[in-house]
Amino acid sequence: MTGGRRFGEIVVHDGEPKGHRGIEGREYPVFEELLLFQASELTTLTATVNAGEVADLDALIELFDRHGYGAEPASGFEILCACCSEGTHERERKTHEG
């Protein structure tokens, strides 16, 4: 499952944060997308990966990054209702192994 956007896309927003997300003690502003400015030429693929340890998954994500691609564990994506998406939320970064 993805958030409806692809790696490398450029979207336009009005610059007014609609909320914030806190991850591992760091806060990130969340903006409302107005329009897609530039679509990505990359497709979104899904793969099931069995990693013995979190470090193995981290190494795979780093490998993607070194080659100019993005990778994200499904546990890094969360769907929020409209009311909740405009608030401030703290969450833990989760990476599952096994």
The separation between the first and the last C-alpha atoms of the chain, rounded to the nearest angstrom, is 19
How do residues 29-83 score in pLDDT, each as one tens digit? 888 899 999 998 888 888 888 888 889 988 999 999 999 888 877 766 666 776 6
pTM of this structure = 0.56
How do residues 1-15 score in pLDDT, each as one tens digit? 456 788 889 999 999
Question: In Å, what is the CA distance from 61 to each residue of 35, 41, 49?
Answer: 28, 20, 11
pLDDT value, residue 37: 95
In DSSP notation, 29-76 reads EE--EEEEEE--SSPP-------SSHHHHHHHHHHHHHTT-----GGG
Q: Which of 14-18, 69-73, 83-87, 93-97 has the lowest mean pLDDT?
A: 93-97
